[in-house]
């Protein structure tokens, strides 16, 4: 199994080991795909994004892996009440992974970066989705780093 | 006396606005209040939107009916985002799926109004 898949799976497992508010069961999908009507239920999707290897010494490399966590939920209207709770959830998840959080089922690769929306295709809230289909979409980007022997 | 063109329009309009024979039964709701059931003519489509993060599939459904049908709590009203249309076991949400207003008129005489919705739940 690739490192990307292993870490994405570990993130999914870790998310599902915790009781969040609102509650959800995270799934891992390489290409997140949902129908609007399925979003009546909160969907949290873990998706591998990228893997980057950087030399550190002659014999060691840093392996950095980025993972998306998508939060998607159909809304009933444009008031802030519904989306506030989802933004809170996104921030709760982001805070959980801050400060070098390690994954229980993938040790040795602490989380070294957390972004809840960066305005570069990974929004904390997608205006387009809300405007056209009344769906909240927020994305968290996690970066994990492992020190490995060079090949 | 109406000219031939007007007579044709008058004849066609009776068919065009005949929701009872060509439509489906729906109720239209805003919050906890709703209309009585009435008939509307339906057109539907499915589209997908894709972003860097993923894909969403959306079933849209347009309902055309006489504006006079839209009486909620004894008040004649116009469609608003977030209103709900119930058709059988399905609930549709009034929104602006193609970036247009949530409703348009089908004809210049405003005899028929067309409301744009997306599928919210399919029980």
pLDDT of B84-107, one tens digit each?
999 999 999 999 877 789 999 988
Nearest-Cα distance to chain A for B22, in Å, is 26
Is A57's Cβ below 8 Å from some Cβ in B?
no
Give the SS3 label for residue B45: strand
Q: How far is it, in rounded angstroms, from Cα A88 to Cα A124?
A: 11
Question: Rounded to the nearest 10 degrees, how much is the dihedral formed by the CA atoms of B105, B106, B111, B115?
Answer: -60
Contacts of B54 in chain A (CB under 8 A): 29, 31-34, 45, 47, 70
A68 vs B49, B53, B58: nearest CB: B53
Instruction: Confirm if B46 and B62 have CB atoms less than 8 A apart.
Output: no
Share of chain B above pLDDT 70, in %: 92
Q: In the prediction, which pLDDT does B9 show?
A: 66
Q: Which residue of A has its CA nearest to B60?
A: A133
pLDDT band at A150 (very low <50, low <70, confident <90, very high): confident
Contacts of B55 in chain A (CB under 8 A): 31-34
Asked whether the beta carbons of residue A37 and residue B95 sit closer than 8 angstroms, the reply is: no
More confident residue, B15 or B100: B100
Pairing of strands B55-65, A33-35: parallel
Q: How far is it, in rounded angstroms, from Cα A45 to Cα A68?
A: 8
Q: In the prediction, which pLDDT does A117 show?
A: 76
Q: Which residue has tokens 């040790």? A: A107
Q: Is the pLDDT of residue B22 over 90?
A: no
Is A35's Cβ below 8 Å from some Cβ in B?
yes
Asked whether the beta carbons of residue A34 and residue B82 sit closer than 8 angstroms, the reply is: no
What domains can be seen in chain A, in order of their start residue? Answer: 3-149 (3.30.2000.10)
pTM of the model: 0.86
More confident residue, A117 or B116: B116
């Amino acid at each position: 199994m690739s490192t990307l898949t292993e870490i994405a799976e570990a993130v999914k497992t870790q998310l599902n080991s915790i009781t969040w508010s609102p509650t959800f069961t995270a799934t891992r999908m390489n290409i997140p795909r949902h129908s609007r009507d399925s979003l009546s239920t909160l969907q949290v999707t873990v998706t591998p994004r990228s893997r980057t290897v950087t030399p550190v010494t002659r014999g060691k490399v840093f392996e950095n892996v980025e993972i998306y966590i998508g939060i998607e939920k159909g809304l009933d209207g444009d008031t802030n009440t519904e989306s506030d709770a989802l933004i809170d959830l996104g921030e709760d998840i982001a805070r959980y992974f801050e400060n070098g959080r390690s994954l229980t089922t993938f040790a040795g690769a602490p989380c070294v970066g957390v972004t809840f929306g960066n305005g570069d295709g990974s929004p904390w809230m997608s205006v387009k989705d809300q405007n056209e289909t009344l769906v909240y979409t927020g994305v968290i980007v996690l970066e994990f780093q492992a020190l490995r022997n060079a090949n | 006396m109406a000219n031939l063109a007007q007579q044709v329009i008058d004849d066609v309009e009776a068919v065009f606005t005949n929701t009872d024979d060509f439509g489906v039964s729906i109720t239209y709701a805003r919050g906890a209040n709703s209309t009585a059931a009435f008939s509307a003519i339906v057109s539907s489509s499915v589209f997908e939107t894709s972003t860097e993060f993923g894909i969403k599939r959306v079933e849209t459904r347009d309902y055309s009916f006489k504006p006079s049908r839209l009486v909620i709590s004894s008040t004649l009203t116009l469609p608003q985002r977030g209103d709900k249309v119930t058709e059988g076991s399905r609930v549709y949400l009034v929104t602006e799926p193609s970036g247009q207003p949530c409703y348009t008129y089908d004809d210049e005489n405003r005899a028929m109004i067309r409301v744009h919705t997306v599928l919210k739940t399919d029980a």
